[in-house]
Structure 1
Amino acid sequence: MSTPTRSSPLALTVLALLHFKPLHPYGIQRLIKQWGKDQVVNVGQRASLYRTIDRLLAAGLIAVRETGRDQQYPERTVYEVTDAGRATAREWLAQMLAEPKQEFPEFPAALSHLLMLTPEELLGVLGQRVKALEETVAELGASLAEEERHGLPRVTMLETEYLKVVTTAELNWLRSVTEDLRAGRLEWTYDSLVSFVRE
């Protein structure tokens, strides 16, 4: 069977978790949460997980191990990774690690249109973001400390380390921007920008 033409963080995560043991979708979802993968993988609605599983199954990257029924739960299908799935997961992983990808998150897109706000309005909304990021950095630091206390090897914490470093860098940059706004070093008026665009 042909492999999917497109990888995704969620598809890679499903294949990676099935490397450890066969699981049903609820077990996959629970491990994503328990292992903190929800910090880096957007599971979203449960339907997105089932769509991903269906896609991997159709491509022959996973297979049905068994279907069981328990009196307490509805019928559950347990999946296992196939040899093709193991090989594909390793290819996807190597590619995602080696090749920077042009992604389009919301924040840079919003920054490209901040001319619609006044400096005072921008200072207000960026101040809210600074507070939110400060909380996130503190939570990530606490998560790293907790994992270290449990004696987990560093390799299991690299994604949390990365998120903390990147979030801290954004926080520091935002603090410098808000300081420039407060000091009047970063200012504009709508009329001056409109005339600039018309030229």
Structure 2
Amino acid sequence: MGKRRPVGNLLALAVLTVVVQRPMHPYEMASVLRARGKDQDMRIKWGSLYTVVRNLEKHGLLEAVESTRQGARPERTVYRITDAGRAEADDWTRELLSTPRHEPSAFEAGLSVMAGLGPDEVTPLLRQRLQLLEQRIEADRQALEQEELPRLFRVESEYALAMREAEAAWVRSLLAELIDGTFPDIEGWRAYHGTGRLPDAVADLAERGRTTD
């Protein structure tokens, strides 16, 4: 096997980890992954499943063990994981657990252009977000309490809940600043939406953008 590939396709990893248990055909892989809610844990493009399986076979990570056909249905090929596939899945898992990645969210994108709206419009929008977050947090807590799986197989749900709780706390703090007027230069921000003109110093900084070493 050649140089290990970095994790670029989480569906490929999901396929390898599900086929570890027993050989499956792609339709069965998809059914098991959906039943386990893997599309909630990672971004999965179901339409590319067969292409991913073929690529895993091409690279020696899966191998076909049999092909069957029932009546007029399309032929189904059953695949099993290879030793190289097990090693690759383990390496990918180690990378995902050990190495932080910056994965910008839609909320980060919204915050990055928040200045385009005035503070008096942003405040109710953040109130709405916080309300929806709190509803989701309560639903997630209840789901975890009712979950019968061992903790080993639901730690990702615990993590997702913790991240939502952290986001809610941050949004709550930002809202408090906007409501009590302690957000830095909130009056300048408000004035900008009244006059359409940024203060010269702020305009200069905006033109130059962020500077990093």
What's the TM-score once normalised by structure 1's chain length? 0.86
> How far apart in 2 are the matches of 1:116 and 1:164?
30
Alignment of 1:73-92 (within 5 A): 73-92=73-92
Computing the radius of gyration from Cα coordinates, the structure with the larger value is: 2
What letter is aligned with 2:115?
A: L
Q: In structure 1, which of residues 164, 169, 177 is the aligned counterpart of residue 166 of structure 2?
A: 169
Question: What does the per-residue CA deviation read over 1:130-185, in whole Å, with 9 as the maximum and x for residues that have no partner?
Answer: 233223222322321222xx3x2211111000000111110111122123222232
> How far apart in 2 are the matches of 1:158 and 1:176?
27
What letter is aligned with 2:204?
A: R
Alignment of 1:44-59 (within 5 A): 44=45, 46-59=46-59
> How far apart in 2 are the matches of 1:169 and 1:47?
33
Please give the secondary structure, in 1, of the residue aligned with 2:74. Answer: strand
Please give the secondary structure, in 2, of the residue aligned with 1:102. Answer: coil
What letter is aligned with 2:34?
A: K
Match status 1:29 vs 2:30? yes
Which residue of structure 1 lines up, in the alignment, with residue 43 of structure 2? 42
> How far apart in 2 are the matches of 1:109 and 1:60?
39
Matched residues, number: 195
C-alpha contact 1:21 1:80 (8 A) present in aligned 2: yes
Mark the runs of 5 or more structure 2 residues left unpaired by the alignment.
206-213
Instruction: Provide runs of 4+ in structure 1 moved above 4 Å.
Output: 1-4
Identity %: 35
| RMSD, matched Cα | 2.2
> How far apart in 1 are the matches of 2:69 and 2:4?
30
Which residue of structure 2 lines up, in the alignment, with residue 184 of structure 1? 181
CA shift in 2, pair 1:73/1:181, >3 Å? farther
> How far apart in 2 are the matches of 1:131 and 1:26?
39
Mark the runs of 5 or more structure 1 residues left unpaired by the alignment.
none
Question: What does the per-residue CA deviation read over 1:2-61, in whole Å, with 9 as the maximum and x for residues that have no partner?
Answer: 4773323222111111111112222222222221222211113x2232232222121111
What letter is aligned with 1:158?
A: V
What letter is aligned with 2:162?
A: V
What's the TM-score once normalised by structure 2's chain length? 0.81
CA shift in 2, pair 1:119/1:93, >3 Å? same
Which residue of structure 2 lines up, in the alignment, with residue 17 of structure 1? 18
Please give the secondary structure, in 1, of the residue aligned with 2:69. Answer: strand
> How far apart in 2 are the matches of 1:52 and 1:3?
19
